[in-house]
Chains A and B, each alone.
Chain A
């Protein structure tokens, strides 16, 4: 029986140490080319994008880099959660004293309809324990927590990344550059994009996400931080969807009410009907990414 108890205690100690390390120190792991820690290490930035996979796929960082002499970064692990974006903003401000010229947040209409949840476990890896607690509280306030979720959030989530870090980090480090994708993703072709089924008609507004937008605006103003919201072009079929249009208007109304600056997809001269430019409804192909980024640089300069 003594051996059984010792086995249990040993397992408990090891797991507690791993969980503690993950929750407190994972945000300081030397990750290359993506995430908050790497963004902070880059130093002062002229432009900092904070968003989700859309920013990751649609912004070409080498082009941006050239334009801004390396003083740009793309934090793209918000998992379509404006709540997470708001917490990531806090995290950056808390952990660094650098100057951030312009912060660009994502104007993704459907982000307003996302349940407050852990939709990209990478967020966990990026946040300090304080940030994790803040995000958990937001999920709790939205009534989206239970025991399995808590277990996943504080114990299992991100554990893969931690244990396989020495093996996978060199590989991942080459797939991204300053938080954005570098791979040459092709378009699946017009046929596929035209056939792709999506149904967003049952989506409803999630108040917590709308509040997060207001919070971001408020915090930027309090900190004297220059900012804007950026809408990335989607494939035209999604843009023409009535539900999408409805939440787009909702988002714009919210920004107007709070006098927040924004750049809409229609403000950039980009052909949303060209299937060659898209990987799926939301994300651009490598060709689209470069075409869009060239136009976006102009729009940012002329804003």
Chain B
């Protein structure tokens, strides 16, 4: 059931009524039933697999010893690998259960936290099931932690009109990002990337920049919708994006993009790897080769490689995803290794990091590095990737005909470009409101209705009908 569909709208109306009428004792039970209904809607059989994951993890982690922890990892990762990568082993008819990547991460995170004694194991199976299967975050995250979610999920929430209004507004923003922005630029990107050899460098650059826009609008739009839905239920979800494209470096970008996933990797894979015995041994070996390198830097090399390779493969068993992971591992390592030299150099040339022009330069530099990564990620095949890079670097003519050719994938030419400009005004207005509200909660309270009116009108008139599938759903 897509979150932007009539069935979901009807489900949500009925569910909200039941949720708030259920009373203090039964509210969480209604939520659990709602989760099951939402999950079963896509395919009732999927309930079996999520149930195996929930029951086994809950049961094993009641006694969080090493053996049980390892068994939990084997069961959950086994299911994930079996479903997600079965195609690579020649099995074609196995369709992965809805949200398996995301609930597996939540399960493993919970198990790890129990094992590390950071949390007390959940005593109630239904409460644990409620945490894993919470429907707004089930299919694409955010990857909530047990500490953040448990109390909120089992606490009684009274009907609060303000929550409904705020949630509704957030949903509106999400739908706008998804149906209007992501949907529109999507046509251009699909046209160009399906035949990259057929387009010049300028078109490929435009398509890649649009891809950055599409990814953000699609994914953060989805997050706005789920956060809005959750807000309506009185439950606050973790924010997954903090204006990532304004980051001044790639490490900063990854702290602001898909925050919950990156925190998960940091807490459950990266940090344990950094402190592990195998990493210490390997970094000692490296120290013998690179005698001048700092010990601290050497200890980051293997965990960084590991995390980014796993992140790449997590997206799917495709060479482009793996290449993307390796590319970012390389970028991160270069960033770590050159950090101290760059600081010294900055001091020497009196480079003031607070200067606005330097900040702008850093943001653009980050976007350029990011764009190369996304070119790898979005390529359909290795030969397409080569064609894209070749086109970008060798076909650099900026002539009238090249600009005209770059507009061709719009189909409707300048009309589409002009409409995107009009939409850009709305997007900038939204950004201004968000920034102002971060500084002062009361800012733009009255303007919110005007903005909601404008978004609603634009969604109805300019949405891409039928484009309700989200990109991250595939993972």
Interface residues of A (CB under 8 A from B): 1, 3-4, 6-8, 10-11, 14-15, 18-19, 121, 148-149, 151-152, 155-156, 159-161, 163-164, 167-168, 171-172
A4 vs B453: C-alpha distance when bound (angstroms): 9
10 new A-B contacts at CB < 8 Å, known A156-B462, A164-B414, A167-B418: A4-B168, A6-B449, A7-B456, A11-B452, A11-B460, A14-B453, A15-B461, A152-B466, A160-B416, A163-B422
CB–CB A172/B414 < 8 A: yes
Chain A residues with CB below 8 A from B415, complex form: 160-161, 164, 168
Within 8 A of A (CB), among B419-475: 419, 422, 449, 452-453, 456-457, 460-466
Q: Whose C-beta in chain A lies nearest to the C-beta of B422? A: A163
Give me the 3 closest cross-chain CB pairs, A-B, nearest first: A148-B466, A164-B418, A11-B456
CB–CB A15/B457 < 8 A: yes
Identify the interface centre among B165, B418, B449: most chain A CB within 10 Å of its CB.
B418
Q: Is B412 an interface residue (CB 8 A)?
A: yes
Chain A residues with CB below 8 A from B456, complex form: 7-8, 11, 15
Contact status of A11 and B422, CB under 8 A, knowing A148-B465, A160-B415, A164-B415: no
A155 vs B460: C-alpha distance when bound (angstroms): 8
Chain B residues with CB below 8 A from A14, complex form: 453, 457
Chain B residues with CB below 8 A from A159, complex form: 461-462
CB–CB B465/A161 < 8 A: no
CB–CB B449/A160 < 8 A: no
The secondary-structure label for the interface of chain B is helix
Q: Is B25 an interface residue (CB 8 A)?
A: no
Chain A residues with CB below 8 A from B453, complex form: 7, 10-11, 14
Cβ of A281 to closest chain B Cβ, rounded Å: 14
Q: Is B161 an interface residue (CB 8 A)?
A: yes
The secondary-structure label for the interface of chain A is helix
Q: Whose C-beta in chain B lies nearest to the C-beta of A161? A: B415
CB–CB B460/A160 < 8 A: no
Cβ of A167 to closest chain B Cβ, rounded Å: 5
Q: Whose C-beta in chain A lies nearest to the C-beta of B455? A: A11
Chain A residues with CB below 8 A from B165, complex form: 4
Cβ of B375 to closest chain A Cβ, rounded Å: 24
Chain A residues with CB below 8 A from B168, complex form: 4
Chain A residues with CB below 8 A from B419, complex form: 160, 163-164
- Name 7 A/B residue pairs within 8 A (Cβ), A-sorted: A6-B449, A121-B412, A152-B466, A155-B460, A156-B465, A160-B419, A168-B413
Chain A residues with CB below 8 A from B457, complex form: 11, 14-15, 18
A149 vs B465: C-alpha distance when bound (angstroms): 8
A86 vs B168: C-alpha distance when bound (angstroms): 46
A164 vs B419: C-alpha distance when bound (angstroms): 6
Chain A residues with CB below 8 A from B464, complex form: 156
Chain A residues with CB below 8 A from B412, complex form: 121, 160-161
From the candidates B413, B422, B452, B463, name the one contacting A156 in the complex (CB within 8 A). Answer: B463
A11 vs B454: C-alpha distance when bound (angstroms): 7
Q: Whose C-beta in chain A lies nearest to the C-beta of B401? A: A186
A19 vs B456: C-alpha distance when bound (angstroms): 14
Q: Whose C-beta in chain B lies nearest to the C-beta of A8? A: B456
CB–CB B414/A3 < 8 A: no
CB–CB B460/A168 < 8 A: no
A172 vs B461: C-alpha distance when bound (angstroms): 22
Cβ of A293 to closest chain B Cβ, rounded Å: 23
Chain A residues with CB below 8 A from B463, complex form: 156
From the candidates A148, A156, A168, name the one contacting B414 in the complex (CB within 8 A). Answer: A168
Cβ of B172 to closest chain A Cβ, rounded Å: 10
Identify the interface centre among B415, B416, B465: most chain A CB within 10 Å of its CB.
B415
